[in-house]
Amino acid sequence: MTSIKAEPFAFPMKRDALALIVIDMQRDFSEPGGFGASLGNDVGRITKIVPDVKRLIQGFRDADLPIIHTMECHRPDMSDLPPAKRNRGNPSLRIGDEGPMGRILIAGEPGTAILSELAPVDGEVVIEKPGKGAFYATELGDVLKQRGIQQLVFAGVTTEVCVQTTMREANDRGYECLLCEEATESYFPEFKSVAIAMIRAQGAIVGWTAHIDDILEAINA
């Protein structure tokens, strides 16, 4: 068994049972005119991690390991969008509203798409999720079981919301989870730092964290 250098201690990698999950690297969260910007966030914090996310994805492709992409989005009739989610906060554009890239976070709209630099290729699974966690109301659990996946490496945004939520869901289902520190980000730098500390506290209570070079070295050894 090959270990990945990680915190709080080495991650015991099972290469034949490992997959990468890239969370919500979508235009609506990372480009001007999208939902993230409508909330007043600096979307440049998201785009800065694109090169590292791309490098991580390519490393998993080169190692012939499975990659799963998620997209937060809702049906065009918004039947899967609770009013409490749509009405929360004070964005300039709410979910479902018409924006510069189409209707905000609605399946099939241009803004909902994954960034072109990180776009899935044939054979990679894409999960459309209506919530923050990727297991809620999706086929993700079935996909992982069918492929014999037991360990998950995480990248994407935002660290403290959709990434951490999915890691906690996976942890409760018995998956061993590892977060790539350079390939995740928050609109708030302090939130990323605190989320990383929470994830790996108390002996990896939610999961491990590691640097991209250490992950790539291990999977391509």
* Catalytically active residues, by annotation: 24, 129, 162
Residues 6+ apart with CB under 8 A from 15: 2, 65, 219
Residue 124's identity, in one-letter code, is E
Three-class SS of 68-130: EEEEECECCCCCCCCHHHHCCCCCCCCCCCEECCEECCECCCHHHCECHHHCCCCCCEEEEEC
Tokens 């509203």 belong to which residue? 97
Give the SS3 label for residue 5: coil
Q: Could you count the other beta carbons within 10 Å of the beta carbon of residue 118?
A: 18
Task: Measure the CA angle with vertex 132, ends 130 and 135; round to 5°.
Answer: 75
